[in-house]
Amino acid sequence: MKKTINLMTAAALLLAAGVSADAADKRYPIAYVQKVEITDPSHRNIAWENKDFLNCDDVVLTEEDVRYALRHMRRVSWKGYDPEQVVDATGCEGEALVTFKNGRVLAMGIEPTGRIGTAEYDRKADIVTGSTSFYECSSCRTRKMALLKDALNRADERRLKRLVAEGQLSASEAERRLNWARVQRDKP
């Protein structure tokens, strides 16, 4: 009986660990957020913008996006965040300042792909040493990309039209690929 209870306890702990894989950073509890200020709802880094994937003009960061990210982001290393090493970097991001009740301010840059860069400031607007962090939020990506389905469809269309114009693809094949991509995007 005791062995069964211990196994059930171990299973529950493993399940809890799995559920929290996309859990919030405990340093920034959503309950202590005093104010969220969107400083730049849509910003592009021209060097990194990939319009074949997503046009930055189609992406707008909202307060709801920031609060959602705070609830679901998990910390990653620079290597996991580095735009030169990651395939889905868009070059698009929105920027926000989150003020907590203790006076700390978290500056956030959030990409629609769920990649997040942060820096923390104290009450005097001095950066907190060692506070620069990088996060991944897969549920943020899923949520934002679902909202941006039309923008992604337009990006696919632009890319395929360019391939047809360059003679790398026939018009009928481009249409088939576009329809396939839209069907895949519409799957639950």
| For residue 14, pLDDT beyond 50 | no
Question: Residue 134 forms beta bridges with which residues?
Answer: 76, 117
pLDDT for 144 equals: 81
Q: Which two tokens stand for residue 45?
A: 């880094």
Q: Which two tokens stand for residue 140?
A: 């943020």
This prediction's pTM = 0.68
Residue in 38, 45, 31, 80 with CA at minimum distance from that of residue 60: 38
* 30 φ/ψ angles, rounded to the nearest 5 degrees: -60, -30
Least confident of 17-21, 111-115, 179-183: 17-21
Considering 13-17, 29-33, 127-131, the range whose residues carry the highest mean pLDDT is 29-33
The percent of residues above 70 in pLDDT, for the chain, comes to: 76
3-state SS, 61-116, equals: CCHHHHHHHHHHCEEECHHHHCCCCCCCCCCEEEEEEEEECCCCEEEEEECCCCEE
